[in-house]
Amino acid sequence: MSVYSGRKVRNLYDVEQAMYQFQKSEGKAMPARQSNIGNTILTLFLIIIGGSCTSIAIYNKHEIFVQIGFASIFIIGIVFFCRICT
């Protein structure tokens, strides 16, 4: 059995054509990531608001509001982290 019987025959291209074929085939390999700047800014805004309210509650010694503030920041962080990972 010959070694050559299982090989594919490929055409030899010049440099420009080979680069074009490479870009065409590799460009489809991974789609470009979409940037979700709106979600990022919204989450950052919510964390700033929650952090500010928590800081004011700590300064005024309102224990319930401090716990609510930390819980909200934690939940916002978890939701944002889960959206990044998917």
* Whole-number average pLDDT of the chain: 78
Helix runs in the chain, H state only: 15-27, 37-60, 63-85
Q: For residue 12, give the DSSP letter.
A: -
Number of domains, the chain? 1
67 falls within a domain? yes
CA distances from 67 to 32, 51, 62 (A): 40, 11, 9
pLDDT digit string, tens, across residues 20-49: 888 777 766 666 666 677 777 887 888 888
Q: Which two tokens mark 47?
A: 């964390």
Percent above pLDDT 90 for the chain: 2
The whole domain housing 62 covers 36-86
16 falls within a domain? no
pLDDT-derived band at 4 (thresholds 50, 70, 90) equals: low
Reduce the DSSP state of residue 3 to 3 states and report it: helix
55 falls within a domain? yes
Rounded CA-CA distance 21/84 in Å is: 33
* Whole-prediction pTM: 0.49
22 falls within a domain? no
